[in-house]
Amino acid sequence: MAKRKVYTVSKRKKKGGWKAKEAKLGVLAKGDTKDEVVQAASAVASLQKKATLRIEKEDGELQEERTYPHGSALRATGS
């Protein structure tokens, strides 16, 4: 079974702006706006067999979590 890749969009603390990263790959997108980074990370995540995109608020709290393909986490758990 393929392991789910997790991508996280978060605020860049030192240089400002936003970043998207994956644990093994590191930073895969940077931008001035959250929206542009979410779009880039979503495009990458949608190409994976199993992926989760975690979108954080400016304070680091989780704002939203998306699964790819859409709803795959729900189907996998039977919920």
Query: Is residue 79 situated within a structural domain?
Result: no
Query: Is residue 75 situated within a structural domain?
Result: no
CB burial class (10 A; 0-12, 13-18, 19+) of residue 1?
exposed
CB burial class (10 A; 0-12, 13-18, 19+) of residue 64?
exposed
CA distance 10 to 1: 28
Query: How many Cβ atoms are within 10 Å of 47's Cβ, its own excluded?
Result: 8
Tell me the pLDDT tens digit for each residue of 28-54. Answer: 999 999 999 999 999 999 999 999 999
Percentage of the chain exceeding pLDDT 90: 75
Tell me the residue range of the domain where 20 lies: 5-69
Query: Is residue 38 situated within a structural domain?
Result: yes
The count of structural domains within the chain is 1
In this predicted structure, the answer to whether residue 75 has a pLDDT above a threshold of 60 is no
Query: Is residue 49 situated within a structural domain?
Result: yes
Query: Is residue 25 situated within a structural domain?
Result: yes
DSSP for 20-43 reads EEETTTEEEEEESSHHHHHHHHHH
